[in-house]
Each structure stands twice: as structure tokens, then as C-alpha cells.
Amino acid sequence: MRNDMKTLSITSIESLEAAVAETVRKRIEHTQAVAACEGAVAALQKEYQPSITNIAGQIAGLETAVQDYCMAHREELFPAKKSRDTALAEFGFELTPHRVETGSKKIKWKDVLARLLRVPWGLAYVRQPEPQVDKQALLSDREKLTPEQTMSAGIQFCQDEQFFIRPKPETANLKEGK
């Protein structure tokens, strides 16, 4: 698309008012074009949503079957490492990123905040001006904090293991049966 912008020279009150009027007309035209685009996008999404939902359900079923098999045969499938490669994908088990949690269900985040405010090293893990626990700072320093410090603060660092299937980039152009 070409931009049909003309150089505008405002030299009087009349030309100023004409420029303002043209600006308003163009804003209205822009709003109508954006609305038409959004309407077309919504119509396309509505048209494709049943197919997308169906395929997503099929994927979920297939992934569940693959994961169940891998869990039942983990030792033989993954003897040396936690993942395997096929021609189309890598799949296996991996750890999620670390996260900070309270040390137990009984400890609430307000309790952790109070504990951090009481210990000399704890202020580095409190965000201001409205005091709150700085979980990102705790995560950044998780290797520096001793077990005694995490216990006294009432926190723990957790990771979960999750199953994954990642298509290889070169499989993006493959269609079924090829």
C-alpha cells in the first residue's frame, strides 16, 4: 500500500480548521479500517475454532498415550539420559525452572515477609515501597542461600519434572504421510 500523504501547509485559521477536520476524518477512517480488520479476524477465528479445538484434543490424547508409555517403560527408554530423539522430535522428561514456595502449607507469604524483615540478610529480598517478598531476587540467589537461611525465612526452592515432546524445526514443513 502506498501512503498518499501530501505536504500540508497551514497558513491561516481557515487552513488550520480544514487540517483539523481532515485529521478527524482520517481518524474515523482509521478506526473503521481497524474495526473491519478485527471483524475479519474474529470471523476467521470463529470459522477455524472447531477444527483447532478438535486437533488440540487429538494432540492431548496422543501426548497422554506417549507419556503413559514412556513412564511405564522409563528405564528401558531412557537408560542414559532423560530424553530421546526421533527423526521428527525430541521427547522425554525435563525439570521445570526453579520457583520459590513457602516452606509448608501453614506458612503464608506474609509470614515469610515478616521473617525476612527480622533477619539482617533478609532486606535484600523485600521489595519496597509496599513491602513484599522479592521472589525473583530469592531465585537469583538460591545457590548462595544456605539451608538454614531458607528454613529461617520459611521458604523452599522447588522444581517439578515434566514430560515434553518437541518437534524438530525441520519437521515444520512436513505433512501427514510424508
The whole-number pLDDT of residue 155 equals: 97
Q: Are 66 and 165 in contact (CB under 8 A)?
A: yes
* Residue carrying the nine cell digits 525465612: 153
Q: Are 159 and 100 in contact (CB under 8 A)?
A: no
The whole-number pLDDT of residue 178 equals: 46
The whole-number pLDDT of residue 171 equals: 79
pLDDT averaged over 10-residue windows placed end to end, the chain, 178 residues = 69 94 97 98 97 97 97 95 94 97 95 96 94 96 96 96 94 64
The whole-number pLDDT of residue 161 equals: 96
Distance CA 139, CA 124 (A): 12
pTM over 0.85: no
